[in-house]
Amino acid sequence: MVTGHQGPGAGGGLAAGGIGAVAPDGRRRAEILDTAAALFASSGLRTSLQDIADACGIRPGSLYHHFESKEAIVVELVQRYHAELDHIAMIALKGLEGADPRLVPAKIVGLGTAIAECAVRHSAAVQFTFYEPPAGAGEELVRLAGRAPTAIESAMLTTLRLGRSNGFIRPGIQLATLADRICKTMLHVGLGLFHQYTAVHRVAGLLCAMMLYGTAVAPAQDAELDRSAAMRAVERVIQDWDGSDHATAGDRASLIRRAARAEFGRRGYEVTTVRDIASAAGLSTGTVYRAIGSKEELLGAIMSSFSQKVMAGWDAALGSGSTAVEKLDALAWLHINVLDKFNDEYKIQLAWLRQSPPDVPGPGWSLPVVVRQLKALLAQGSQLGQLRLESPSSDLTARCVIELTWIPEEIVRNQGKRAALIHVRDTVLRGVATR
């Protein structure tokens, strides 16, 4: 999905003069960057300089004529990603000057689409900003990876405020949270859940439509949703979660799993080594191998338990006698609690979803199974007049709903689980636009 980069900084445009001014040397540099971006997007930081050189058809030594290290390539990829986001924000703000407030819906969708397309073009850079940089990373990479996309969030917030002023966005919606949610949702399009779709504008349009107008035919009320059979069923599953995976005195395997879970979630699976895990657990590398086995076996042990917990919640919600709207609400509550309690496992799962092909086959819950179950639920809800969706039985629609029921973890952490649930109801079910 990552093809040639376009836009500000494209193919060496951040360097002096861009491609045209420094050809052919600049063209080669641009080719290396684009090739590295595609490899990083599919394989992460496990991609080596040898891999990049082979894909470019040059010797590894020739890379050093353009970049002093793999990290230098990563830094430039993240730089041009941020540069394009900032440029999109600038164009969006200029487009609001004297704009007709009636055009706000189109402005929101247009900005959201531009963010999603940028995220796809810079999929590798989006990944680098999702995880902590590897141990020993330079100061510049650490700074860039931790830089928040404030310019684009500010542009989205300004657009939403214009929508509030003309009555398009209904009262009671926290606009700053909504701007953050829309921007992060669009950036997640570059992380891989939608990597099989080349029509990024279609993905972005569906996501925006769901958040703006909701999926429920009738605006469900909080009290009604709180006492649904699906919510009660999911609550029972959540209450059954216990501390069985936490380390206890003398339980070496549990201690290692706990350390591995944190390291995989913080660094990403592909760059975490058994040595990293052993150091975090305060054990020798040999002890880890003897107690657990390979890194792959360790991942399987961690994610098997996680998958069972998540899918038990899915089964409880879908097996209840609730409406489709109530089941979606209960699934969102399940996901909020998963993010709160099993944040590392969630990041490991997301890291796997973004890889094409995956490094390890299917850790955690099975995406095809989840998509199939959700398509059936959406189709049933549409037939019964409970949900309004353009293509309720399509794979893309189901993936969009999955994305939106997994709320960004910053919202859960900063506002709390209950406020996060209300936000999901406002965006996914009721929609933020005035009906």
Q: What is the pLDDT of residues 207-253, one digit of tens each?
A: 999 999 999 999 889 999 999 999 999 999 999 986 544 444 457 88
Asked whether residue 137 falls in the same domain as residue 191, the answer is yes
Q: Is residue 3 part of a domain?
A: no
Q: Verify that 98 and 141 share a domain, yes or no.
A: yes
Residue ending a domain, choose from 163, 196, 212: 212
CA distances from 318 to 314, 415, 424 (A): 6, 27, 18
Q: Classify residue 2: in a domain, yes or no.
A: no
Which stretch of 139-148, 203-212, 319-328, 358-367 has the lowest confidence by average pLDDT?
Answer: 358-367
Average pLDDT, the chain: 85
Whether a cis peptide bond, with omega within 30° of 0, leads into 392 is no
Whether 49 is covered by a domain: the verdict is yes
**Between 104-121 and 200-213, two packed helices, what is the crossing angle to 10 degrees?**
140
- Among the residue ranges 102-116, 296-310, 313-327, the one predicted with the least confidence is 296-310
Q: Are residues 283 and 323 in the same domain?
A: no
Range of the domain at 291: 252-296
- Would you say residue 271 lies in a domain? yes
What pLDDT sits at residue 350? 66
- Between 355 and 275, the higher pLDDT residue: 275
Q: What is the pLDDT of residues 402-411, one digit of tens each?
A: 999 998 888 9
Residue 435 inside a domain? The answer is no
Are 334 and 244 in contact by the 8 Å Cβ rule? The answer is: no
Q: pTM higher than 0.85 for the full model?
A: no
Residues 268, 416, single domain; the answer is no
pLDDT class of 40 with cuts at 50, 70, 90: confident
Q: Whose CA is closest to 431, among 159, 172, 76, 165?
A: 172
Tell me what pLDDT residue 102 has: 87
Domain presence at residue 1: no
Residues 15 and 141 in one domain: yes
How far apart CA 331 and CA 420 sit, in angstroms, is 13
- Of 264, 296, 328, the last residue of a domain is 296
**pLDDT surpassing 80 at residue 365:** no
Distances (CA, A) of 60 to 67, 137, 161, 174, 355: 11, 21, 51, 51, 25
pLDDT at 364: 54
What does the pLDDT read at residue 281?
Answer: 87
Distance from CA of residue 94 to its chain's centroid?
A: 28
- Tell me what the mean pLDDT of segment 294-316 comes to: 85
- pLDDT score, position 21: 43
The pLDDT, as a whole number, for residue 10 is 36
Q: Which residues pair with 425 in a beta bridge?
A: none
372 with 390, same domain: the answer is yes
Tokens of 268: 């990403």
- 87: domain CATH number is 1.10.357.10
Same domain, 354 and 224: yes
Mean pLDDT of 12-22: 36
Considering the domain boundaries, does residue 258 fall inside one? Answer: yes
Judge contact between 375 and 388, C-beta under 8 A: no
**Whether pLDDT at 195 is above 90:** no
Residues 279 and 332 in one domain: no
What is the share, in percent, of the chain residues with pLDDT greater than 70?
Answer: 88
pLDDT of residue 351: 61
Span 170-181, average pLDDT: 95
So what's the pLDDT on residue 358? 43
| Percent of the chain scoring above 90 in pLDDT | 51
| pLDDT above 90 (res 292) | no
Is 90 exceeded by the pLDDT of residue 272? no
Q: What is the CATH number of the domain that holds 220?
A: 1.10.357
Q: Which of 89, 116, 331 is nearest to 208 (CA)?
A: 116
Is there a single domain that holds both residue 239 and residue 369? yes
Q: Do the domain assignments include residue 17?
A: yes
Same domain for 167 and 240, yes or no, is: no
Average pLDDT over residues 254-276: 81
Q: How confident is the model at residue 114 (pLDDT cuts 50, 70, 90)?
A: very high
Q: Which residue has the higher pLDDT, 193 or 414?
A: 414
What pLDDT does 300 receive? 77
Q: For the domain that residue 261 is a member of, what is the CATH number?
A: 1.10.10
**Res 401 pLDDT > 90:** yes
Number of domains in the chain: 3
Whether residue 362 has pLDDT greater than 80: no
Q: Are residues 111 and 157 in the same domain?
A: yes
347 pLDDT band, cuts 50/70/90, is confident
pLDDT tops 70 at residue 18: no
Give the pLDDT of residue 8.
Answer: 37
325 and 272, same domain (yes or no):
no
Is the pLDDT assigned to residue 128 strictly greater than 50? yes
